[in-house]
Amino acid sequence: MNILKARIRLAIFAALAVMTAAVVAIAVASSFETLSPRAVRNQAAAGPGKPPGGIDCRKAKCIALTFDGNPRKPTDALLDLLARYQASSTFFLEGRKIGEHPDVVRRIATEGHELGNHTWTHPRLTEVPDERVRDELNRTGQAILSITGKKPLLMRPPEGRTDDRISRISRELGLAQVLWTVTAKDYETTDTALISKRVLDGADRDGIILLHPLHRGTVPAVPGILKKLTAQGYSFVTVSQLLYPAAARPGKVYR
């Protein structure tokens, strides 16, 4: 009987621990505000002249493709596909390999895509000190600036891990944070059909799709994704185009 009571108490304590962890996770996740592109766009005053790229997402059915990682060889094949479908996208680049592939970085910019900051070495920013966060973001921003002549205004925290501290530092550095509405989790599979299905199942107007070109199944999935979303009436835009006539505000988190 005593053993049974002890087991019941342990089960209760375990359940309480799980509930407490869930409450803490919810509190952390909700400690900063996330903004949807549609909401900020609809609240903004009408912009002067034509929208960037000629697509007004207040009227068009828009979606933003975003690609994270190092600008290595598969990026050229991806850019060929995007050009074929006239699909503007946003590339969040890690800084450590940028110097080895300046032509790829330059091509991304010259073909009308948007460049964002994805840190230098891809650490979990919430787990490193302030100075490391600043260094990771500043080094990557400067590397992109040295090649394209333009410093990124957007950043994506690795694994989407952010909090009030990261938001404060991002604001100091003039960077807005961009998360996502759909991820194919292409880092855990090489199944092209599955990657495509995950994207298409989650795609919606004003969505932000996350993909990683360096994973083997990703680039082969892109033609089918582009073809099917085009048939569904989507226009492919950068994150900044998705927000227009609003502009991304430093420190804020968009998804």
Catalytic positions, please?
A: 68, 212
In angstroms, the CA 45 to CA 225 distance is 33
DSSP 120-161: SS---GGGS-HHHHHHHHHHHHHHHHHHHS---SEE--GGG-
CA-atom Rg of the chain in angstroms: 20
3-state DSSP assignment of residue 63: strand
In angstroms, the CA 9 to CA 56 distance is 60
DSSP 195-209: HHHHHHHH--TTEEE
CB 221 within 8 A of CB 147: no
In angstroms, the CA 225 to CA 196 distance is 6
* 106 residue type, one letter: R
3-state DSSP assignment of residue 131: helix
